Structure 1
Amino acid sequence: MKTLSKKELRNTIRSLRRGLPTDEHRILSQRILENIKTFGILGDAKVILAFCPFDGEPDISPMFDEILKSGKDLVLPKVVGNSLKLCRVHSTETLSAGSFCILEPAECEEVDPEKIELAFIPGVAFDKRGCRLGMGKGYYDRILGRVKGLKVGVAFSFQVLEKIPCDPWDQRVDAVLTEEGIFYRR
């Protein structure tokens, strides 16, 4: 079987993700949120990086208000030029469409990546070694190397493969969470 290039794999998985019926996407995203609670992933983390869904990614945004109500810091990325700024969010009411029409903080109280205790990371595909295939711009790769806390990839189970192409500059995650559960990298 031919090994797919990053570009081919990215196109294939994104097409599958976009093709999920709305009801199935909602149900699978809800199962992911339930697994976050079941496995106690939020734990004692006080500063939590999350993401707003884009291009069919799992929707973990229903937990944002819960994070805020619990007194934890919610941090969301904001695209600025060719990089991501990590911004503390005080209310989900302040989110607006930014770069690529992704919801992001309108104002940015910047948070140092080293302060992140738990990071939920989107991706096109992940593998059992913790390799992550992103959208191809390197936004998260430039940030993840500085995140000291637990890095958890969030994906639907069909996005998790045995092995994906992984270059030395690609930043790995510590675990991957899907609607089927969580596994830690080998």
Structure 2
Amino acid sequence: MVENIRSLEPFKSARVILAFCPFDGEPDISPLLEEILREGKDLLIPKVEHDSMKLCKLRSLENLAPGSFCLLEPTQCEEVEPELVELALVPGVAFDLKGCRLGMGKGFYDKILGRIRGFKVGVAFSFQVFEEIPCDPWDQRVDAIATEETIIYRR
């Protein structure tokens, strides 16, 4: 999966990348987090505060600690606006071939993804990708899905 993400042109060219710390069976993309920091790119990690999610610039993986929902989150937050994100790596419970994403139900990512102009990649295992899943008008779509087997571009 990590290799498939690395092969994406938007991953190679992006300077501001939104990623995530894996939670509860989500794909482990931590090698990419280290790589992004090592290459001097801006790594953004979500932080949930109250009923919203903000994007925090992370300078070191040592600045992560369990936060909301026991997710690893930045201990300090230099907030970055979603419009500046060039590549978003997004977890999900399920994705479909049209780019629809089913999340955990709080809508945090949908609110942020609607403001991101950059390339959006769902990160999932192959068994999480379906021909079609229910998709509401407010659900934000991804441009591609990276699995352990391949990259699937949205139809």
* TM-score tier after normalising by the smaller chain length: over 0.9
* Deviating more after overlay: 108-117 vs 60-69: 60-69
The one of 16, 25, 43 aligned to 2:12 = 43
The amino acid that maps onto 1:68 is L
In the TM superposition, what whole-angstrom CA distance separates every residue of 1:111-158 from its partner, at most 9, and x where no partner exists?
A: 000000000000000000000000001010111000010000000000
1:4-153 aligned at under 5 Å gives the runs 32-153=1-122
Task: Find the residue that maps to 1:146 and give its secondary structure.
Answer: coil
Bigger radius of gyration among the two: 1
**Structure 1 residues 80 and 125: alpha-carbon distance in aligned structure 2, compared to 1, 3 A threshold:** same
Higher strand share: 2
Question: Aligned pairs, how many?
Answer: 155
Name the structure 1 match of 2:134: 165
Whether the aligned pair in 1 keeps the contact of 2:10 and 2:119 (CA below 8 Å) is no
What TM-score comes out, normalization by structure 1 length? 0.81
How big is the alpha-carbon RMSD for the aligned residues of Structure 1 and Structure 2? 0.9
Q: Mind listing any 5+ residue stretches in structure 1 that lack a counterpart? A: 1-31
Moved over 2 A (4+): 37-41
Q: How high is the sequence identity, in percent, across the aligned residues?
A: 68
Counterpart Cα distance in 1 of 2:10 and 2:80: 21
Counterpart Cα distance in 2 of 1:74 and 1:46: 8
The amino acid that maps onto 2:137 is P
Q: Mind listing any 5+ residue stretches in structure 2 that lack a counterpart? A: none
Counterpart Cα distance in 1 of 2:139 and 2:29: 24
Name the structure 2 match of 1:15: none
